[in-house]
Structure 1
């Protein structure tokens, strides 16, 4: 389970990811917002609504860490989905403004979190026990991959290497603990082994961006090399 230390460097990574996303939103109009995203069944409005509503959800976990009073990220999946749907059809200017304001608010919240709170145990919606260091990974991952999902010209290959490697490590950590993962070995373009699942099975290799895109369900894996059939992965998150 990937975590990040709450350092100035980490906070800069979060700020940079948010800035990259926000720089691509200013030209979007209402018709653009209503257009399909790369996520099945979601418009760009749904993606932006999710990014905006995710902030108070993550901040509820940070409040849990700060006070010790258990506060769930969401009441349940139905409530989460209803929040996203309710915000998805708002005017572009309102959605973009709220994504911008929420990003600023989250940044202040994590930078001001008291030192003892970073060692508290919390439980995100996905069920794992962790510290708030995990929240830093989740936020970075969501900013980068949902930026890709918006279909505004930003793809996985555009994610800077430091952020990309954090997200890739996180996705690999998920599959290391997931059920029904087929046997295969993952190697980068230089042949270095990144992960081994089960008995090893076929070797799947490629550039880190192409591997991440496939593992995170953002590509078919057509750019990857394999010594056998490309494994069929269980759904990621």
Structure 2
């Protein structure tokens, strides 16, 4: 049975709230020197990650305000403006970064609370210019929080991420690969027999010659692999399910 939109909203709000608590807990373990250390994201310090998460909340608040006022408010003025904002925020002190993160998170939650029930389907434009219902901002925020807590490279681990969130993040990437890149990647979880694969509607017919790959691993490892966080614990398997080696790094190419 398909979930009603209001049920989906309640579930996603709960995951976003839990993700914020988890991110904040990790954030408050960091001191001034710690935030200057590298994150798991190439070229970014932990301060860059924290600034990005704070400004992401601000950007999503703009979309929510757009839905409630009918006045268009883009997430970011431009790619360069977004990058400049993050670089500037990364220079803040650890105290200022925590304040930024907390203040913007509270503002986003307040904006969500002001959305009338009949406005959650209102369409706004995401950072790529794709029109999405504003209800999607809740899942977008949840995903950012759970993944970027890992990027702080401290105590947070993939095991902390709720299984439903791991599954949905992995599915999102498989669908994106199929839609954007033509990669048909199928994933299996041996411990449970679960299979994750691109939704049929996401597969581009013109890309029948593009990469086909089946991989196997635990759900946390699959999530880490598809998002580029970790390339261990995931194997490539043949049509019979036999392990034929480590799964390749991201960047599959059509042949």
Q: TM-score, normalised by structure 2?
A: 0.82
CA distance in 2, matches of 1:202, 1:176: 11
Matched, 1:149 2:151: yes
1:19-168 matches, within 5 Å, as 19-168=21-170
> What's the offset of the Cα at 1:24?
1.8
Say which structure, 1 or 2, has more relative contact order (CA 8 Å, 6+ apart): 1
CA distance in 2, matches of 1:202, 1:188: 15
**Max Rg structure:** 2
> What's the offset of the Cα at 1:12?
2.1
- Tell me the SS of whatever aligns to 1:185: strand
Assess if the C-alpha contact under 8 Å between 2:171 and 2:196 holds in 1: no
Structure 2 segments unaligned to the other structure (5+ residues): 238-243
Deviations for 1:52-93, whole angstroms, at most 9, x for unmatched residues? 111121111112211222221111100000000001011101
- Tell me the SS of whatever aligns to 1:122: strand
Query: Given the superposition, is the C-alpha separation of residues 7 and 36 from structure 1 closer, same or farther in structure 2, using an over 3 Å criterion?
Result: same
Structure number with higher strand proportion: 2
Deviations for 1:116-165, whole angstroms, at most 9, x for unmatched residues? 22111111002322101211111001001000000112122221223222
**1:233 is matched with which residue?**
250
Structure 1 segments unaligned to the other structure (5+ residues): none
Assess if the C-alpha contact under 8 Å between 1:140 and 1:167 holds in 2: no
What is the total number of aligned residue pairs between the two structures?
Answer: 230
Deviations for 1:41-62, whole angstroms, at most 9, x for unmatched residues? 0000000000111112111111
**1:219 is matched with which residue?**
230
> What's the offset of the Cα at 1:16?
1.0
Matched, 1:205 2:227: no
> What's the offset of the Cα at 1:99?
0.6
Assess if the C-alpha contact under 8 Å between 2:61 and 2:107 holds in 1: no
**1:15 is matched with which residue?**
17
Matched, 1:194 2:196: yes
CA distance in 2, matches of 1:165, 1:185: 13
Query: Given the superposition, is the C-alpha separation of residues 173 and 202 from structure 1 closer, same or farther in structure 2, using an over 3 Å criterion?
Result: closer
Query: Hey, which bits of structure 1, 4+ residues long, moved more than 6 A?
Result: none
Query: Given the superposition, is the C-alpha separation of residues 112 and 166 from structure 1 closer, same or farther in structure 2, using an over 3 Å criterion?
Result: farther
CA distance in 2, matches of 1:9, 1:161: 13
CA distance in 1, matches of 2:13, 2:194: 29
Assess if the C-alpha contact under 8 Å between 2:35 and 2:45 holds in 1: yes
